[in-house]
Structure 1
């Protein structure tokens, strides 16, 4: 075998396109010069799916070897000098290859041009032990395989769509078996393909499609791959809804509850968090939020939603006032009332009013029930009365505010007994002292006492009033007399302690303060004068009598010359001289006292002189 240096030049011609030269690289023990021409890729815009770039099939040489696109033809020649200007010679034709015909590599991967035995360049003898000389060329027809990945945010994939959140980064990588990856290309939403250099930040919300592929160093482009996804940058929108009693938008019952709900237009709601006042956040379990453990007063519930790609809603606040305090209620008894021991007496005229105040929500209604009934009547603000029935009564009442805080039931009577007294007193009169009745007329004197007596079975008598002959009423304080003579009319009535007033009573009577008129008759006319006195004979008889205008004379008494009083026989007209004969030549003084049937008396003195005959 001749000791010559074989320089193999691989000439590549693809569709009349010349290749740019690249730096020669040693492959095994031979030096190979490859000339390759590379054109700048043209980006083709597309309104929808972008068109993949044109990639020329080529040869690629690096330190690891020589790679040729498997579809390219190879033309083999040799030179006896390394000089680039040295003459090249065609190989002898064979049955398989004619001169100037292209050679196509049949095997993916390493292919070899062989010399049977290796020769020592100096001795030109076989190198022992003998070994084959192989000139390797690697055929590459397989495109790279690229992969896309995302990070920087959370992924949610519902099996139909993929969603990413904020700070999304896209990464592309590719692997190639032989010649290696030359470039990776990508297009966002149908724009022209860009050469991928480093991770790409994706920050525009909405649906996106990434087109991408890789090409190797010998012009094998991958089929375009796609990745469709949505970027969700918008947090959910959460709402708080009340269930239960709410007054004036933010005053709530302790039994009201809060329900939270959230909507998200893209990836969907993951969860909601909330906190009371300044407490730590907790996850909402979609059960009503109870307020019953909160104190009366101002409170806040803070809440926010999170979607499935971790977009966090700006905190929202629900401000409200928990009203746990029932109204305060009180009552007033207006008008007639009187307390005796543990009984409060009232009259049919007595009214009852109820007042109520509330610390926050305001009073909604006041209810009352007379006589302890189960049915309550709304109190309208106007004082009410009880049914006019004698006996004990019971009034219960209560109030609620606008969030239904209800007071405990109170009673107007409290610890007392509420007693309706609708019966007036009953009064009577009594005359104490001289009195005489004649022909339906009662006669008394101004010394006769008039006593009034009033009785009341319940609240007792408060006052008794009387008047005589239409004068102004006087309050009775004890027995009294009627001083004026003549016909009298007494009116009187009593009032009890709840102002039940008795009907006017009337009694007529006649006041008689005059005694009878005394009469003295002599049986003979006087026979002369003895000084200032008439003179009568000794046989003269004296007759006494008395006349009373109204009640009649009851009795007459007399005394003679200062002697004891003697009863003059009423109606018999006896001569007082029958008792004792008159004496001659003597002065007589007879004192007469007449009494009527009321004890009124009148007096008369009779003086005369008895002569000697």
Structure 2
């Protein structure tokens, strides 16, 4: 009880001189093991009452008989002896200080020590009540465990659980300690502790030590493990040191000794021990001697690969600092020193940096003087000389430079001469002493003294071996590097010429030759060029011929030989290709054999010398030279000691035939050499009890016929077999134990024990040599029966829902 009696007044008697009451909080001894405490129990209160004979346990007379029941009013534990063979006494006591349960289980009540001086045979049923408020699992998971003192192990003796009355039943053959236990189904809890120098925004700015601890109230901890990727796990044994900077995710969990695995937990550790790095970017035109010749823009960018930059600051004197927010400009001519640095979110401060800049924005001015013989359209007909002049009113002219390509520049020292045909370009500019460079000035000098050139482009589907596989479109182009092309001409015989104005389409198959030339705007005529091309637009054709032994329904009943032929009248056949079924294309090099049974598809095509791929054709070739295979299946059969097949009038005989290619067309059978019968459905033997020869075969749709097979069976009358043994049977919630009989019929199984009978219909039978296996269903549920036979006896073992049996015949 949670609270015992409390006496403040009145006179009470708490014992009768021999024994008194049982007290939950009594902790005295019982050295003579008579169930009475060696010391008295002091009753709380103001009257100082005393129980001189406190009861630790009761002893119960246990007399001869069957189904002898003992109920202890102190513990509410009950025992039912199947049979008492000699009188004695039985005692039941409880304690909480006995052996702990097996790993993975926790006590769900008190430990009961049960002993008897009576002699007994057979089993004892033990009933122990439980308090559903003291358990944390489903009531159906509770177990009664029996402690074996000699082996030091617990044994599960649970029969069933009465969840309505909170009583658990067990079955034992001996006495010692008994305990109701509940399984440990609760996983442990793991805790993580991080130790390191903490910065800002959740970042550490030092190495971090990780310590993992775990707790489990029942089974205790088996191991703690951790992982850095959630896949590969390591057993935790000592604190971990994380030195690497960045984000580190650690996964961790524990398992208790009951095998309960905790759900994965994870923690992200952020470490940043490195200060940020700031770079300055100056946008502007940089001249000579480190001068900028334009206004400049200052941009500060900081990189921190871990915690990221918090802010950047800059100063023009290294004393007064301003927080940087955006690009800023410097526009006046002058010199400046810029100081700058950054701090990251973890609190790391960068060392101060500086940059020195100079600005001068005024450039010099330049122009040119050109001399030479001029022609038409701004073209010069002779060499050209150019003089360059430049001036600067600020820092003074340093030098003039010129270039022919705006890439490679030369310093100007005197007149520049041009004597190359074409458009010549001169770039020039002046540079002052501050490094200001004048905007580039450009002059063009055009000279033309070279004849034009012509070229041709053939457009169409390009095949192979210089063949086209379509109409060809001819495009003639002219090129004159100087004054430009005025006119293009072409001819098919080099005598009659036409003016080219648009692409020329050639449709005729075979070979064609075309001549062409260009004329420039100065009247110069280019060289005559020519080209030959070939056209083949017709696809090649492919045919197939097949040779083999023809069966039925378009099936071949032998290997077949395949011959392929291709035809092309223009460029000629290059190769013939084929592929079998879903295989790869193969080059045909002569007649080949097809040996694969089944429905084969051969796909063929030809390719001519121009690269034309002929139409693909698919041909279906069916081969089946293997006869079908037939087996005789028999239900409800058995074998005797000589392995003869035994059947009854109820046994079904069924022909099962397989043909993997053309398929089974018909199956036939006959009995004892009678006329052949076409098989349609299963059949039974109807004659007298005797030995029968069953012959059978099948034919497929290709015309293949199977060799005749045969099976000998022995027709017998339905039999029954009795087995004597021991078992138990549960009917309507009542259990019956003891000597019993099991009878095996052809279609049913029957068990009798005391006056009770239960029957099952056989639903399946398997024969494995000397072993027979039966399964059946009845009002009492499903049963499985094993029968083993040797030369002298047959042995049976059966079990199922509310039934088990072992015996022999």
Relative contact order, higher structure (CA 8 A, sep 6+): 1
Task: Give the TM-score, by structure 2 length.
Answer: 0.24
Task: Give the TM-score, by structure 1 length.
Answer: 0.30
In our comparison, the structure showing a higher alpha carbon Rg is 1
